[in-house]
Amino acid sequence: MISFKAFVKAIHEAIMSASNTLMDKNVDLLDKYFEETTSEESDKTTRSTLVPKNVILEYPVLNSDGKVEQTKIQVPLITLVPLSMSQIEKATLTAEFEMEIIDGELQLSFPNKKSDGVFNKKTKSNTGKLEITISPQESSEGLKLIVEGYEAVLRQQLS
């Protein structure tokens, strides 16, 4: 038997752990699209800075004679991909259990599967079902602004 309180706490902790894992995965976007550099400031302190990972692409432009020329542009990788983040939207747990109050506390027990034979019906079984719905999460306003800034710089290179 397990107390109902401990059961709910264990389920809650498992869902929170899964949610934290998804948040960590979302933060990994920084590692994927930015790299760390160090620079020395005028007061001799070393500071680390994240700079966007870039690729250089050849891009066609028309010159003054109307001919197509290739020019090189720096493109931050973060401007080339759709950014999607995930979050746990809903978690549903379904389980068969028996309840009993012992010493003023609700206790749960999960009956074992029992079968009386090949042709007889099975009695109550210990079944459970956990449904977790993971859905896209809207990017934060800060991330949107940063990406829009890099996109503006990219547009300036193309005009």
The string of pLDDT tens digits covering residues 88-140 is 777 777 777 788 888 888 888 877 765 555 655 555 444 455 566 767 777 78
- Whether residue 24 lies inside any domain: the answer is yes
Interatomic CA distance for residues 1 and 110, integer angstroms = 8
- Whether residue 120 lies inside any domain: the answer is no
Q: Decide if pLDDT at 36 tops 80.
A: yes
- Whether residue 117 lies inside any domain: the answer is no
- Whether residue 22 lies inside any domain: the answer is yes
**E strand or H helix that includes residue 141:** helix 141-158
- 105-124 burial string, b = 16+ CB within 10 Å, else e? eebbebeeeeeeeeeeeeee
- 15-44 burial string, b = 16+ CB within 10 Å, else e? beeebeeeeeebeebeeebbeeeeeeeeee
- Whether residue 17 lies inside any domain: the answer is yes
Question: 3-class DSSP state for residue 110?
Answer: coil
By the 8 A CB rule, do 78 and 35 touch? no
Q: Which domain holds residue 140?
A: 2-112+127-158
pTM of this structure? 0.55
Number of domains in the chain: 1
- Whether residue 118 lies inside any domain: the answer is no
Task: For the chain, give the longest Cα–Cα distance.
Answer: 92
Q: What is the mean pLDDT of the chain?
A: 81
- Whether residue 154 lies inside any domain: the answer is yes
Burial of 78 (0-12, 13-18, 19+ CB in 10 A): buried
- Whether residue 106 lies inside any domain: the answer is yes
